[in-house]
Structure formats: C-alpha cells, structure tokens
Chains A and B, each alone.
Chain A
Amino acid sequence: MTPDRNDLEQGPGRGATETDKFVFPKWTNGLREASAVMAIGGLLYAVVLVTGVFSPKNSAVGYAPEQPVPYSHAMHAGKMAIDCRYCHTTVETTAKANIPPTATCMNCHATVRTESPKLELVRKSAESGEAVKWVRIHDLPDFVYFNHAGHIQSGVGCISCHGRVDRMEVVEQVAPLNMGWCLECHRDPAPNIRPVEFVTDMEWKPEGDPRELGARLMAERGIAPSTDCATCHR
C-alpha cells in the first residue's frame, strides 16, 4: 500500500501507523536501473584514474624542457669527457649536487668560443652578475629529503638515476623518481653499487656479476640502506 502523500507530510504522531515506517519516495524506483550504469561508470573512472596515474606517460619520465642556454652534456661530458664533478662540485659532500655558477662556464668560455651566439646569455650573466635561470628537471616533492653525498659515497653511480647524461643533447629525466622506484633500490641496492672511484664513470661495467660485486662492496663498507619512512621524510 502506498501511503498518502498527506500522511507523509503530516509527520510522525499525526498520521496512521504506516507513517512510522520510512518509505522511499517514488523517484527512487529508477535508481535500480541506474545503478548498473553507475557501477560501469565507476569502474571506468577507476580504470582511467589508475592507468592515468601509473602510466609512465604521466610520470615525469622523458621530461626534457628547453633550457635558456642550449648546454649540451653530450658535448661536454661525453665528447670532451669532462668529469661531472668539474661543474657539480658539491655532489660528494653535500645534499645538493648544485648547478654551477656562471663563473664555472667562463673558466673555459672566457677564451673558447667567445663569440658564439649560444653563449650570449652566459656572457651577459658573467658581466652583469645576474644568474642564468635554468629549468629544474629532477624535482622531488618538498617532503622528500634526498641527499646526493650519501648516495655518491655509498657508490651509487650518477648513471643509476640520471641515465646516460653523457649522450644527452638536452637533459631529460629517465627515471620516474617516485617512491616505489626509490624503494626498489633501497630494498635491493646490490646491482647499483660500484666502487666509489667510478661513480661518475658512464662507461664503467663491472667484471662479472654486478650483483656480486655490489653485495661485496656493501659488506665491506657497511652499506645497508634503510626503508624506514624517516630516512627520506621528516
């Protein structure tokens, strides 16, 4: 029996006993049919969301923004084989590798290619003291504290995270730099550990199994990376 509309509006205490029970209004009848559509829609939404979030396309991998100065790592670090640490001087001792000041560029370019139009901005910066504003590529969230020195001193090569920078005309991000990726190595660092003297060597290959060498170096140097939250988040 459908209750009278008036009964419903009169509220409890006034009407007949039927009003004591809650009855769904009529329009809700359509919901049963709609629920199937909603379920499918929800599923689709979830799939799109999950694939979207986890797709490498949507991670920062491959991010290679144009820089204000078309600096070529392939030329400097690759062809001319300048060591990473010539410019990234603080990478072994501090948290940050640091982008070199203009003065570092001018060490050579005061005499080399002094007329090159590509170096216009560098020369201007050296003259005026105004910095070159590079675009950041490897960007971690602000609540993540990464330390270069700790990794370098443990024998993690530059290549492990930054890829073959010596072959990049324009630097791009090769690793997703997400937490899962960090943890992969923290849980099983052996394949990525090398003797500290070779950390910047892009061509270095271990003799034999890299895992075996890594495991030996870890034991020798007491390397036991932590997977505790507080290691990176504080």
Chain B
Amino acid sequence: MAEINHDPGRGQDYWRSLQQLADTDEFRQQLDNEFPGGIDAPGGLSRRRFLQIMSASIAMTSLAGCRWPVERIVPFAKRPEGYQPGTPMQFATTFELGPVAHPVLATSYDGRPIKIDGNPGHALSGGATSAFAQASVLDLYDPDRSRRVLSRRGRSTTETDWATFTAWAGPHFAGLRGGGRGVAILTGATSSPSARGLLEAAARAFPGGKVYLWEPVCRQNEILGVKEAFGTPGLPQLDVERAAVIVDFDANLMLDHATALRNSRQFAKGRKPEHGAMNRLYCWENGFSITGGMADHRFPVAARDVGAAVWALAAELVLGEGLPLPVGAGVSRGELSAWRGHAAGGAHIAAVARDLMANRGKSLLVAGLRQPAGVHALVHTLNTALGNVGQTITFLPFAAPAFGTVEELAADLDAGRIDTVVVLDGNPVVTAPADLDLGAKLAKAPNRIHLGDKDDATARLCTWHLPKAHYLESWGDAMAWDGAYLAVQPLIAPLYDGHTATELLSVMVDAEPRSAWQIARDTFAVLGGGSAPAPAEGADRAFEKRWNAFIHDGVLAGSAQERGQALALAGAAIKAPAPGKPLGADNLEICFAHDPSVWDGRFADNAWLQEMPDFMSKLTWDNAALVSPATAAALGVRHGDVVTLSLGGRTVDAPVYVQPGQARWSVTVNLGYGRTDCGRVGLGAGFDAYRLRTFAARDFADGLTIARTGRTYQLATTQDHHAIDTRGAAEIQDRAPRLVREGTLADYEADGHFVDHLGIHHPPLVSLWKEKEYDGYKWGMSVDLNACNGCNACLIGCQSENNIPVVGKDEVSRGREMAWIRLDRYFLGDPEEPTVTPQPVGCVHCELAPCEQVCPVAATMHTDEGLNAMVYNRCVGTRYCSNNCPYKVRRFNWFNNFEDLTATQRLVLNPDVTVRARGVMEKCTYCVQRIEKARVAARVKGRKIMDGDITPACAQTCPTDAIVFGDLNDPGSRVSKLREDSRAYDLLGFLNIKPRTFYMARLRNPNPEIAPARMNDGGHGGGHGGGHEGGHEAPAAGGHEEAAGHGQAAH
C-alpha cells in the first residue's frame, strides 16, 4: 500500500478507504472510470460476433413477435375463503437463527412467499427485521436444496422417500428403546418448545445415549454468565432506552445481541436531541462492529483484553470512585486492586468510571457472546453495584436444557457407545471444532441420520439424508428472547419432500408418528393449560378460536414479558482472566467471528447475503483476515496478500484485509466461508476459518502466526465504487464534511443551525430551468444519520422488494453491483482508531434531475409528484444519466441477470415490479409500486393518501426508524416536520438540483473529559481544516444553503 497521507494535525479528514486516503492509482482509476472494464459479452464472445448474433436474433424475434401467444387463465375450482387472486397476503410466522426467534410477517403472492417483514405485533421486532430474516426467503427457492431422501450404503447412494425411511426407522428405534448402545441426537440451539419437549422425550426413551448441543455461534456464555453471577440461568433483558450511559464490551448490541433490533430502536430513540438529553455509548471491542461505529468513544483492544478492560473498569469504579461492592459480589477489593490502571482499560478508564458514577441506575453494561461467562458475571456485578439491575437490565428465568456438548459426543462415539447418530440440521462435520475430528468419529456409529437442507459434508458421511423443510414450509413454534410464545406456520407445501426436526423426532419417539402440525397443536394445548393430544380439528370451538388467533397473530397474546425480574447476586467467586503472553508479531490473537453475511455458513448459498457488502470492510463474496494498518505494516503484509495463518499446528491460507479500527495484534476471521460442500452460490467464496477453531479456543485465542505466501488474491470490495467525488483526494477531503455532516451535542446546543454552516455559503441559487410546481402530493424522504447504524437490513429489504439482481464476485469487482442503496461509511481521523459515520444513499429524486436532462430517449422522466421515474421499456442504455448523476446511484444491467434463473428461482420475484433486462438502467423508485397501491387503496376508501399509508421497503424494515417517507406538501406529515428540523440538510444541495431525500446530521455525544465537546466550534465554516473560510466572504443570501466553489476560490 502506498504511504497514507494522514496528517494528524489536520482535524477532520474523512475517507472511505485506505486506498482513498493514500490516493493510490487503483482509487484514481475507480474515480476516473465509472464503468470500468468496458463491455464484454458473456462466454467470451468478441464484440463483433456478439453484434452479429444480436442482429440476427432481433430479426428473428421481430418475425416471431407477430404471433401473440395464447394465455390461459386458470381460476380455482373452489376459491379459498377470503382469498383474492393477484393480491398479496401476509401471514405471521417465525424465523429462527440459532436460539433466537424473530417474529416475522411473510408475504404470499398467489401462494408463493416473496417477502419477509418484521411482525409489528411483537416488541422485539416492532415491524423491523434483520437482513438474515429478509434474505431467508431466497433460501426457500435455492435450486441446490436437497430434494430426495437419500440412503447411503457403502459407496452407493439410492434416492428414496420419507415413507421408506419411516418404514426402516420405526422398528429400528423401537429396538433401541430402553438401553444398550445408545442413540445420540446432535441438535443445534432451538427455542421451540415442541422440539425441546421431543428432545427431552427422546433422551428419556433412549437412555444409552444423550442429546448433544452444537451451535457454532453459541449464546451459552450469556446464559451461563447470569448463572455465575446470580446462581440461576436467565436471559438478560435490556432496556437501552432507559440508559443514559451504555458500555458495550464486544457485545455488538445492534447486530449480534439477541434483542439487537429492539436495542437499535431504543438506542436511536435515546439519541434524539430534540427530545432532550442524548445517551452516550462506550465500546471496547477488537473488530470494528456497527455498534462500534455508533459509539461516542470506541477503544479497540484485543478480544482477550476486553475481559481485562471490564476488570480495569471495575477496579476504577470500586477503588477510584468508591463504588461500594454489592452484597454477594464475586470479587473483592483486594482482587480488583491488581487490575487498576490495566493497559486494556486505556487512558480514559477513569473518565468512563466517573460518567458511570454520575449515571447510577441509568447506565448499562453489556458483554458479548464471545466473552467468557466470567466476564459476563463481572459485568452483572457492576450493573448491580451501579443500581442498573431492575432498571436498565432485568432477567427472565430460563431452564437451560441438560444437553451434552459436542466434545462429549466425540468421546462417546470414540468409546463405541453410540449405535445411531441423528444430526438435526446443521453441518457439524464442517462447523464442529477442528480438534474433535467429528467426521472421522461419526463413522464409528453404524447408523447415521442427517436432516438438513443440503447434501453437505455431514450428509455425505451419513447413512440417511433427509431433506429438511424450510421454515416457510413448516409448522412449529418458538420462544422469543422475551419469553413470547411464537407460531411457525407454512406458507407453501414443502417443495421437496421436506420434513421438520419435530417430525423426525416424532418418528423416533412416538408410537404413532405425528405431523408437524399435530405436534405444534399438542404443544399449544399443553402450554395453554390443557393436555396433549390437542382436540381434533373443529371438535372444540373454543380451542380452535384460540389456536386461530395464535396462528393469525404469530404471537400468543400476553405471553411476551415486557420486563424480566431483578436478580440478586449469589456470591460465587469470579475468576479473573489469566494473563497471557504479550501479543506481538510472533504472538497474534485470532478472533473467530460469525459473519454478517453468511452467519455460521448456513447462508453460504444465499446470493443476496453473499453480495451484501459487509458494513465496515465492504467485502462481498469473501472473508479475509482483518488486521489493523499498523499490524499490517509491522508484519510486512499488504491488502490482498495471501498469508498462511497458523494456530496450534493448524494452518489455513487467507487473504489479508487491512481494516482501519481493528485492534492491534488481533486478527479477526469470519466463519462460514470456504465451503466445498455447498451449492453453486457459496462454492469458492472465501476460506474456511473453522479449520483453525478448536473446542478450547472457540471464540478467540492467541498464539497465531502469519507467514506470507507471496501470492495475492483479489478481494471484491465495494468501498471505492460509486464515489461521489470526481476531483481527486484533496477535493474529497474538502467535500466530505459536507456530504456527511456531523457535530456534537454541544455544537447542536450552542447553535441549532450548525449543520447549515458546515457547507459553504453561496449567492442565491438561480435555476436555468423552468421549475415545476408541485401542488398535489410531493414525496420526500428523510434519513437520520443519528439513527442509522449501517445494519444493512434496508439493503436486503430493497433487494427483495424490487427484484434487484445479484451479479457475482467478478462483476462486483468491476463496480457493477446492482444494489439500489449504497451504504456509504466515512471514516474520520487516525486509521488505527477512526470513527465512522454510515450514510445510506439511494436515488434522492432531484426536482431538477441532471439525469433527466441528458437522456436522449426520455427514459427517465419526472412525475407530477416529483418522482424521478425510470421507464425501462424506453431505456436504450446510453448510461449518460449515470455519468451525469452527482450521487452515483444509478445501476446498469450489463447482462440479462435473470436469464439463468430456474422456474423455481423465479418464484421469489415480486410480480409488482418489472424484471429489468440487459442494457437497461435502474435505480431507487421510492417503491413506486407501493405508492400506486396506496393510491388505489385510498381511492377505494374514498379518501386521500394519508401520512403513513406508504412505507417504502427500506423504511419498513429499518430497526432504528432512520428512514421516513411521506408527503412534503402535507405540513402535518412526519417527513415535513423533519424537513423543518435544524439538523436537516441536503446532500450536494449547492448544485441546486433540489433532492427530495434529505439527511439529518449525525450528532456525537463525547465525554468532555476524553474528547473536545465541540467538533464545529469555529462558527461558520471554520475549524474543519479543509478550509473553506472563504465562504464567509460570499453573500449568504441563500439562507443557510451551501455553495460550490467559493471555499475553493479562497485557497
């Protein structure tokens, strides 16, 4: 990498990547050429040959076009009650990610699920949902899902069916009941009461074996931490909204935490300066998480030092600030004294402690799932000492099931105690700790049954493989983190002979196997105070009514706990983290992180998620070894170098990604890539970090060494794509503070209009064009940068709603990704410890749109309501519009991206949105299909469209409510009120193109003891180093608008 031109004295320097900061040739190429790589036809055809084929096919299709195909209308023989063909319907169901259940509403269009949204009827969702839940609908139509029951004997594989399996399994399991060689059931974490009940029944029925639990991304530490502190296992319930000071210890509250959606929403609510005081967030973590991006103060430390930081904070609070240790605390003052001033806490630990002391009962400390139970216990002790328990944190009692570990399973297999292994979902052969060598040990059980959605590495080692039903094909139930009892109902019959885990367990345990529907109903009857079996359908009207209400709402009314209980400390001694060998170039730390795209690998075949850029690294289709710039320099490795990671004798080759803000000497690797046993999508993406992960070092370990291989690897990152700037790095430095405007709470309080002064002043803007009057609806959108944390949910929501294609790694590396929302993130400051500000940018629907002025065929037109509409059937693909777009939000279809989809894959497409063909430009439409739908709905009701009738897909899914859409002509609409807010500003407003999307400035709330309270205290335009003091001289007649050029002229 070229030398980084970072001048620490310069103050506000924004950058999107280290390449940009260093102004490398690579970055300049990206800027100079918006459409890099030229056109090349698929399959290596030459351009000339391609044109020949094209002209021939045009001639042929124009002849064929004379015949209008005969279409059939196929109505029902008997239409189901309440069903209107061609009208989407929503059904409540539940998406489970490990033990965390997400209540969702799934949209069905004529019987096929096409979209997932959050269930607004449940507090943990509030209508929002994660990128994973949204993308899960794509997995349903994955062409590489396994389709048949497979029976493997020796080397031969026979395709068979469920009936054949049950005919074998019934007598087989009957013979194993009551002892002898046992049945081992390996399950992933599940919250389903039905599955729990059946697992426990199976454990009783087959005493020779056990139920073992393996979840690659495990939440045991959280639950065990509660047990260690309070003597009873529990699920921590956070109330972030009540917290004035929040300390996040590697917890990634807004993405990884079990209640991440609610945390994000509550955190954003606590950061509205208009509503009074703002909360403050401190964050200790090794990798740069989105929560770290939202933090007012982030301290990058190695993962193993996060625990030390908690101890250092505890020592500072107790010994420095005199916080009394509560009764039952598992630590003593003496034990703490050794930790006072520990390096992991950093120089500002005392300031943090003072801040916490000043906010007792209104603060919140949280540790992450990677941190050992002891760290959680100490955090709970501190929460108790600070009086937060019962206020900002409570606990729900949780009966932890007595399941064995995967290590015990390996031992039992080794000892030959197991006759039959049943793997319920998951791919443990790949994901289980590498030192257990589970693949080899599985063979010691003569009968091996695998239930899963793919014929994967585990399935290939089993004697039976059973296709698993997708959750949108299944009946079931789940428990949410707040104790709510949730329903899982199918929207479609299983596409491929799929069955649920409960059905498989029922075959093993029940004398008469039950259907998943019957199992869920039986559990419902029991939990409702009755007994199993549930009454036959229609036999008991009161029961049916309750059951139907449960299925309709997706949540059992009254089952969610708004708050848990306050627990009292139990007094068990908390073990301090053992001091390790100091970290350095020859002793690096490795930290295993689940991936924000593929989680633990289960979404490896999900193309939407694979192509979704990671928020911080902007990596697509790959994982990498993330190292900090200083660590990279010390190790002599550069971005894209392939290195060999060695840990305890295990090695794996991985490309290096230099990640600003990564903790020094700590290497983060994301799990779930490098799959060789998955479908077409995930094949060849990334490297397999599981190969380094052992049972003892599941979360992080030191002792890692890195050796260069001399090879390089192309990583497809989108970070320099579609850069808004065209005049080089100096200009970027000058302009970025105007693109992403931020200040501090003190700035805001001193001058509510500080945001306007961040731009340069300009003479009144005069339009060259005759401006249109908008007297009807005037659609506009607001994006609150103070709320947006960059979770990517809007990206996938948009992709799902608007049929946005996936283009693959090669095309992404050419800058041809299609996502309509580009989630920019601007780093600020020192590359080792930068701060970051996310900024989602889609088409801003300029009133005087530059794209429209250059389209030769009027394919992009303005509507009477101010939408910048894209008319696909007019577009001839000149791409002039994109060249002329100052925001770089237009995306071009280089290929027929939907051409190769199978009929099944096409089922996921939203029929309300045109599927774009090759050679057509596209971009955000403000979800015009939803606007038109709302218009008709309002017409049917005989009224006007009201505020809230229209919610674009991005706004609908946003957990922080950062995106608000509405009518700017309606003074009562939310968006109009936000437009009037002093934090509102236009992106590139000085171009006088009048964007309809506007942004609300980001505010930070730094602790004045740690950082200056003011970022923008130089008054108008001053204090940002980038220097546009010249703006003062310009007449500011345009009010607080900004101007182009004047700041430049002054230099």
User: What is A's interface to B at a CB cutoff of 8 Å?
Assistant: 60, 65, 90, 92-96, 98-103, 125-126, 128-136, 139, 142-143, 145, 147, 149-150, 153-154, 221-222, 224, 226, 228-231, 233-234
Contacts and interface: CB of A to CB of B under 8 A. Distances in A.
Given A65-B70, A147-B932, A234-B928, A130 B77 contact: yes
Nearest to B859: A229
Contacts of B70: 65, 135-136
A186 to B, nearest CB: 12
A94 B940 CA distance: 9
7 contacts: A60-B68, A96-B84, A99-B73, A100-B75, A101-B77, A131-B77, A234-B932
Given A90-B84, A98-B84, A230 B867 contact: yes
B1011 interface: no
A169 B550 CA distance: 49
Contact of A143 (B865, B872, B935, B942): B872
A135 B87 contact: no
B72 interface: yes
Nearest to B929: A234
B912 interface: yes
B940 A93 contact: yes
A129 B68 CA distance: 30
A135 B71 contact: yes
Given A128-B77, A129-B77, A234-B929, A226 B913 contact: no
Contacts of B936: 95, 147, 149-150, 153
Contacts of B85: 90, 96, 98
B78 A145 contact: no
A131 B864 contact: no
B28 to A, nearest CB: 38
B918 interface: no
Contact of B935 (A130, A132, A150): A150
Given A135-B70, A149-B936, A150-B935, A129 B75 contact: no
B929 A139 contact: no
A135 B72 contact: yes
Contacts of A145: 912, 929, 932
Interface in B602-642: none
Contacts of B343: none
A131 B74 contact: yes
Given A139-B71, A229-B871, A230-B869, A149 B78 contact: no
Contact of A222 (B73, B75, B86, B944): B944
Nearest to B937: A149
A147 B864 CA distance: 20
Interface residues of B, number: 39
B78 A102 contact: yes
A224 B777 CA distance: 12
A68 B867 CA distance: 45
B606 to A, nearest CB: 26
A131 B76 contact: yes
A32 B141 CA distance: 61
Contacts of A92: 940
A103 B79 contact: yes
Nearest to B776: A224
Given A96-B86, A224-B776, 5 more contacts: A126-B77, A143-B873, A233-B873, A234-B912, A234-B914
Nearest to B79: A101
Contacts, number: 128
B75 A101 contact: yes
A134 B73 contact: yes
A224 B940 CA distance: 15
Nearest to B930: A234
Contacts of B935: 150
The 6 A-B pairs of least Cβ separation, nearest first, read A228-B863, A230-B869, A96-B86, A136-B71, A150-B936, A101-B79
A130 B867 CA distance: 45
B925 interface: yes
Nearest to B78: A103
A209 to B, nearest CB: 25
Residue among B913, B929, B935, B936 having the largest count of chain A Cβ atoms under 10 Å:
B936
B47 interface: no
Interface in B772-802: 776
A230 B75 contact: no
A230 B873 CA distance: 12
Nearest to B936: A150
B172 interface: no
B87 A94 contact: yes
A133 B77 contact: no
Nearest to B85: A98
B939 interface: yes
Nearest to A133: B72
Interface string B78-111: 1100001111000000000000000000000000
A155 to B, nearest CB: 10
A86 to B, nearest CB: 14
A136 B72 contact: yes
A230 B928 contact: yes
Given A95-B936, A96-B86, A99-B73, A139 B78 contact: no
B298 to A, nearest CB: 42
B861 interface: yes
A176 to B, nearest CB: 13
Contacts of A154: 939
A230 B874 CA distance: 12
Nearest to A102: B77
A99 B935 CA distance: 24
Nearest to A63: B68
Contacts of B928: 230, 234
A226 B939 contact: no
B953 to A, nearest CB: 13
Nearest to A60: B68
A92 B942 CA distance: 12
Interface in B982-1014: none
B70 to A, nearest CB: 6
A94 B86 CA distance: 8
Contacts of A65: 70
Nearest to A147: B936
A154 B938 CA distance: 11
A102 B861 contact: no
Given A98-B84, A136-B71, A234-B913, A103 B869 contact: no
Interface string B47-75: 00000000000000000000010111111
A226 to B, nearest CB: 6
A83 B869 CA distance: 39
Nearest to B80: A101
A226 B863 contact: yes
Given A96-B86, A229-B863, A134 B873 contact: no
A149 B940 contact: yes
A136 B869 contact: no
B932 A231 contact: yes
B941 to A, nearest CB: 9
Contacts of A103: 76-79
Nearest to B802: A234
A99 B87 contact: no
Contacts of A96: 84-87
Given A94-B86, A136-B73, A143-B914, A233 B78 contact: no
Contact of B75 (A60, A99, A231): A99
Nearest to A233: B871
Given A65-B70, A233-B873, A234-B914, A102 B75 contact: yes
Select the residue from B77, B863, B913, B940 with max chain A CB neighbours within 10 A: B77
A99 B71 CA distance: 14
Contacts of A230: 863, 867, 869, 871, 925, 928, 932
Interface in B880-921: 912-914
Nearest to B944: A222
Contacts of B939: 149-150, 153-154
Contacts of A98: 75, 84-86
A110 to B, nearest CB: 13
Contacts of B942: 153, 221
